[in-house]
Structure 1
């Protein structure tokens, strides 16, 4: 079984430009702490799996301006944002839903976090009622672009909010 750090390095080195572009689109025009409106839904990127060449990975990313998630109680820096990502797999030729290796799904889910801060990403897993099999991740970015550790109570809150959706 591959190591998370190896797969994360492969994802980042193979798709560095695409991930940087998705990161810019997900955070808005100014790397923003403000919510902004998009046409056509949140930005996404589709790339080939680094472990299974017959699979494609779809990564969707967005953010919530930190004034919005009032349920969180941690003392995060002003203008922080909650970065929201989801990862799903599909067969490259047929487009049919395909399960991703969990290590690879985690690597893609953490790929938008700054290098060295992956441990601060929160993996929420999949929604039981979802047919897409998407795995969901969250991390908090401060206004300086550094990842903030998510307070334990806020981890519990994010998990509870996720299971309600």
Structure 2
């Protein structure tokens, strides 16, 4: 698995994805476990910013080559019934995206884009996104930080983590 971690405003993320999508077409679909077997597709400008102070609990998306390429996995439940998963396990050509953003005005929650295994599609998307980050944002300890962020914000993966683990920029 390869991933790139970043701290961006949602507007920076959307601008980067629109730039990449103009050259390398992809479709965004909501990732995760759900009660129904229909995928939810989104336009780039519909990406949601962080909704909690923990990057593990925020929205996740898959970037896939086309609407027809989304595979949905059945997940039997112990209490009976089935839930449906859209994830990298059945969509190995996809990239997973967790948006970053500002939480409670003084925290920037990290985001990431990653792949499970290499394919021409996902390596192209990941490489283009990393080039966008290198050309437009700062790099600190291998992590990209938006050049538009104000000093004094906490850069974290979770607001509950001790401040000693904050990324300093």
TM-score of the pair, normalised by structure 2:
0.37
More contact order relative to length (CA 8 Å, sep ≥ 6): 2
Higher strand share: 2
Larger Rg: 2
